[in-house]
A = this chain, B = another copy of it.
Amino acid sequence: MKELAAIAEKIRNGDRRALSRAITLVESLRSDHRQQALDLLAACGTGRQALRIGLSGTPGVGKSTFIESFGLFLVRQGLRVAVLAVDPSSSRSGGSILGDKTRMALLSREPHAFIRPSPSQTQLGGVARRTRDAVHLCEAAGFDVILIETVGVGQSETMVAQMSDLFLLLLAPAGGDELQGVKRGIMEIADLILVNKADGDLRAQAQRTCADYSGALRLLRKRPQDPEGFPKALLVSAIEEQGLEAVWGEIQALADWRREKGIWETTRKAQALHWFSEEVRSQLLEELVRDPNLATVLAQEEGAVARGEAAPAQAAAKIVRQFIESNNA
């Protein structure tokens, strides 16, 4: 426990190696590690609030280049930047730690930047929980901006949005009829749409794409969390480092507006309670799944539900009753 306090102290002082090991601890699936991780989270306490920015974009839109350029831009403004990747489909064995550092070679060498690849868990729920803990640790370590990057597989964008203050969607220029398909749900959560590669031969095409999405955004209902003119589509060139200042300006304007209107605090509070309730539900479910007395009946009931032979409510009641009884025995 004394050691834990020392690690927590290091993290609070912004020691990147200690932070990195703490994140490895929260990612561990071993239950003794889990207990240590919870103690460490408690010991770190809550730091000041970083700006948590969710970022999504399909492969090939230049996400790594954008994060590198934008991260360097922020570091040059005197800000400390953490990058957390969320990719439920990734497997660490492929060497993605090296991969992430290679793809952001300049940013990873900055003393005020911290880059962390996705946890290797394949279940989105697991990735969500560990990323949430990592965000907590990065705030304790005093980072100013936390970029949470997702590849946009399945529900991962919604999940990242639930731990972000605002959300960026990166798109590539597309031509005429073959306008790239934007995953539908993303329009619900994007605060800024950034059309990347607004450079060289693609510049005009990027402008048209940006105009198309500006038009599409106007078709959608204004959300209560948006000031006039948001969500917005902007042009950037990550490779030529163009448009980054405008992006940062819009981010700050949006964050300031939401802080002023009380939306920032309300959202943070709602997010925290959402994660608390999710954690209680997940941890309870884990206790249930771990119960050796229930393994057989759980498999049976799942089979019956999948085959349509039992109503979900009825099968669930059976399992929960047995779990409570098994704990009372």
On A, residues with C-beta under 8 Å from B are 37-38, 41-42, 46, 49, 129, 132-133, 136, 179-185, 187-189, 212-213, 216, 218-223, 268-269, 272-273, 275-285, 287-288, 301-302, 305-306, 308-317, 319-320, 323-324, 327-328
* A-B residue pairs in contact (CB < 8 Å), sample of 24: A38-B314, A42-B310, A133-B311, A179-B218, A181-B221, A181-B222, A182-B220, A184-B188, A184-B220, A184-B221, A185-B188, A188-B188, A213-B219, A216-B216, A268-B308, A269-B306, A273-B302, A275-B312, A276-B302, A279-B313, A279-B315, A280-B285, A281-B284, A328-B328
Of chain B, the residue at the smallest CB distance from A221 is B181
C-alpha gap A310/B280 in the complex (Å):
14
**Contact between A181 and B272 (Cβ–Cβ < 8 Å)?**
no
| Contact residues in B for A182 (Cβ distance below 8 Å) | 219-221
C-alpha gap A324/B189 in the complex (Å):
37
Q: How many copies does the complex hold?
A: 2
C-alpha gap A316/B272 in the complex (Å):
11
**Contact between B221 and A316 (Cβ–Cβ < 8 Å)?**
no
Residue of A275, A278, A279, A306 most packed against chain B (CB within 10 A) = A279
**Contact between B281 and A281 (Cβ–Cβ < 8 Å)?**
yes
| Contact residues in B for A285 (Cβ distance below 8 Å) | 277, 280-281, 284
**Contact between A219 and B216 (Cβ–Cβ < 8 Å)?**
yes
**Contact between B184 and A41 (Cβ–Cβ < 8 Å)?**
no
C-alpha gap A9/B35 in the complex (Å):
52
**Contact between B314 and A283 (Cβ–Cβ < 8 Å)?**
no
C-alpha gap A285/B316 in the complex (Å):
12
Of chain B, the residue at the smallest CB distance from A269 is B306
**Contact between A280 and B316 (Cβ–Cβ < 8 Å)?**
yes
